[in-house]
Amino acid sequence: MEVLKEKVEEEEEAEREEAAERGEKMMRPLETRREEPPMTQEMLRDLEKKLSEIEIVIPEQPLIVTKDTIDISKLPLSYRSNTLKEEHLLQVADNFARQYSHLCPDRVPLFLHPLNECQVPKFVSTTIRPTLMPYPELYNWDSCAQFVSDFLSMVPLPDPLQPPSHLYSATTVLKHQKGNCFDFSTLLCSMLIGAGYDAYCVNGYGSQDLCQMDLTRDVCPLTMKHKEVVQEEEKVPPKKYAIKPPRDLSSRFEQEQKMKKQQEIKGEKEKRRKEEEQRLLELEKAKTDALHGLRVHAWVLVLSGKREVPESFFIDPLTARSYSTQDDHFLGIESLWNHKNYWVNMQDCWNGCKDLVFDLGDPVRWEYLLLGTDKAQLAVAEEEDDGMNDDEDIENLGKEDEDKSFDMPPSWVEQIEISPEAFETRCPNGKKVIQYKRAKLEKWAPYLNSNGLVCRLTTYEDLECTETLEVKEWYQHREDMLELKHINKNTGLIIDYFKPGHPQALRVHSYKSMQPEMDRVMEFYETARVDGLIKREETPKTMTEYYQGRSDFLSYRHVDFGDRVKKLALNSAESNPRPMVKITERFSRNPVKPADEDVAERVFLILEERIQLRYHCRDDHIMASKREFLRRTEVDSKGNKIIMTPDMCISFEVEPMEHTKKLLYQYEAMMKLKNEEKLSKHQAWESELEVLEILKLREEEEEAHALTISIYDTKRNEKSKEYREAMERVMHEEHLRQVEAQLDYLAPFLAQLPPGEKLTRWQAARVKDECLSDFKQRLIDKANLIQARFEKETQELQKKQQWYQENQVTLTPEDEDWYLSYCSQAMFRIRILEQRLNRHKELAPLKYLALEEKLHKDPRLVDFLKVFI
């Protein structure tokens, strides 16, 4: 037994040696195969030992979702199989891959035909389905990229060093709202090509932050402040006789010392900031990526030319951000493709993508798969070839190219469709959070939050994001037209921005507290207000208003308030207003009036009972006229009230006129100013009441935060929904009435009677008898019809049986098979007819009795048939 066992072991070892030798030879090129000496037993054992020590870890399933969650039976046939042209394309791709591996053995295998959701290999170019979305917002590249980034959730690649083994269709990715970078790129490229861009999917290598969608080192785009272009004001040439400005008597030495001190403080702060940034950079450098330059990533390339794109650029579909083709985040490109062809990069990527030339028509830099490409090849001029200009040679070359070309099969993916609900919701489950450097961005779907919040940007003071600096909140569909709320946590300042349409025409409202008589600034849409108010600034002691486009040319009003006298009242702000101390008003130039009579500034000193006027200055003057009125009441020696005296009007006139010196003119002017003072005080009081009304309205709006719903939004608009349901209910009832009218069993018999006459008892009995007799006859006719068909089938079967008996000897096997099949079908029909006839015989009496009962209960006959019962 031991000898037999040793022989068996020797035979098994010999077989293993032969198999290993055959496998090694098959792995070598044909020309290098040759006879080699057999492997010794010790070497075989050593090999088996080393092989046993090697362990492989099976990676996780690279699919987006498990196979169980995808109902393959509901997918189209193009998803579950390949056409002949697609099979031919796969063969061409395999041949291309073999040649590429032979010529470039140090390059990684090409990403050509991964499996789809049905485990069917599909060429990557056929996975792109160019589609123009029916939404105007998705017509530009930035909005398309932002939609893809918001709509899908990123799933990392199972192996960061290799492309995925599966590439799903865009329809499946949109349905499950998640995918890897290749799924993102395929969907975005399909949308961009449909929108008219020259877009390509790129398979290459990216940085760790780019592959992992890590934006914690990037600044949020919403926090970047746009540089405002400051327009330099044109200097007005100085006048010849202008007054020289007074000499500056301040110490230059003190100013220089002050500036020097400020620069030192600023430099110290800048130094500390740079040291902190340098420290953070050193920490980041210490955390070097061990897989730098090896991480596989997919993105989109948009070439210049189409859609007026001036320069080629990259789009990262995960973040929707655009990059230059020389950006450091992109470390190399293996291949790229669109819906027409596939190109392999033959350029060196030692310097990333900075030195790459994206001229796809250059076969030296980009090796193409198919000849039928829309990218024209570079023309190579050969001086020796003089016959290239011949028309016949050109035609022959064209025919050869046509013979060798192979067009890309159409996409196997169904039409990409995005429902209006999905387009509005965008983010998966309606919410998405993105973490930036010192900032966090949160997005919500419209109507998901009851207050209309759709976006929130929180900026922090530290990198750990623990100390909040400011918060910006964006709103949509608010009834109060609130669009943006900016909250500064350090100062406590809150700024509300409104769209046009607010009941009080508010545009901007900045405040720290909603309590009245506090620091606040209100800006308005002047075209929506009758008084032309643009801006109102309020403090506990002052209120300033700015106007534009008024008929009285008022442009500015400033009111100073005094201390309020304490009174017992429920609402102190309304019943006990603040006393006004001073009112300053400024007016724009009225071209109708002379400058000496057009008031530029008017000051009402209420407590001092004085009114000061300053007029506009004429263009040819350097000084303006001034006038001051005293409103004090004086009494003469006899006790009479003195209304007007020359001392009560102090004036300075550049060009004195006679009529202005008369007391009557001055008296009329002072009486007019008194009335205008009352009017100004009343308008200031109305402004205070308006502020209180606005604050009360804003508190109610913040508590209610009601949202507007379009009349076309039938799902959210309750009134529209109720109206639609009522209309559908009415239409359904009308349809039922029409059906009942069509099935009215008395209608043919009642139509024979004279129209408009009431039924008599005799007529009712006659209608009933005729209806029953007609129904009885129809039952009999139906039975006779079934019987006739039964007899016909029986006779035909007998004829066939007789024919078979007569020709049984000469029949072929095919004829016999046909006869047996006919007999089987005929017997089936006969049995069915027999069952129908028997069932009809059983149900006919029941149907007759049911109709008779209905006739007795019919409201048109019930009153007349009671006598006969």
Over the stretch 96-130, which tens digit does the pLDDT of each residue have? 999 999 999 999 999 999 999 999 999 999 999 99
In this predicted structure, the answer to whether residue 381 has a pLDDT above a threshold of 70 is: no
Cα–chain-centroid distance for residue 40? 68
Give the pLDDT of residue 386: 45
In this predicted structure, the answer to whether residue 383 has a pLDDT above a threshold of 50 is: no
Residue 463 Cα distances to 289, 319, 440, 469, angstroms: 21, 21, 11, 12
In the numeric block, which tokens belong to residue 689? 């009441």
Inter-residue contact 548 to 532 (CB < 8 Å): yes
Spatial neighbors of 540 by CB under 8 A, at least 6 apart, are: 517, 518, 519, 561
- Give me the mean pLDDT over the 137-157 stretch: 93
Give residue 81's pLDDT band: very low, low, confident or very high (50, 70, 90): very high
How many whole angstroms separate alpha carbon 701 and alpha carbon 704?
Answer: 5
521 three-class SS: strand
Beta bridge partners of 202: 299, 336
Give the pLDDT of residue 734: 84
How many whole angstroms separate alpha carbon 775 and alpha carbon 596?
Answer: 109
pLDDT tens-place string over residues 650-689: 888 888 877 777 878 888 888 889 899 999 999 999 999 9
Inter-residue contact 416 to 144 (CB < 8 Å): no
Inter-residue contact 102 to 94 (CB < 8 Å): no
How many whole angstroms separate alpha carbon 153 and alpha carbon 434?
Answer: 11
Residue in 470, 468, 473 with CA at minimum distance from that of residue 484: 473
Residue 206 Cα distances to 144, 464, 619, angstroms: 22, 26, 68
pLDDT tens-place string over residues 34-44: 333 444 455 44
Give the pLDDT of residue 28: 35
In this predicted structure, the answer to whether residue 173 has a pLDDT above a threshold of 90 is: yes
More confident residue, 503 or 32: 503
Write down the pTM of the prediction: 0.67
Inter-residue contact 769 to 761 (CB < 8 Å): no
Taking each helix axis as running N to C, give the angle between helix 813-857 and helix 761-806, from 0 to 180 degrees, rounded to the nearest 10.
Answer: 170
Q: Which phi and psi angles does 480 have, rounded to 5°?
A: -85, 5
In the numeric block, which tokens belong to residue 555? 């442009």
- Give me the mean pLDDT over the 151-174 stretch: 93
Mean pLDDT score across all residues of the chain:
82
User: What end-to-end distance do the CA atoms of the chain give, in Å?
Assistant: 108
Residue 713 Cα distances to 93, 116, 659, angstroms: 49, 37, 71
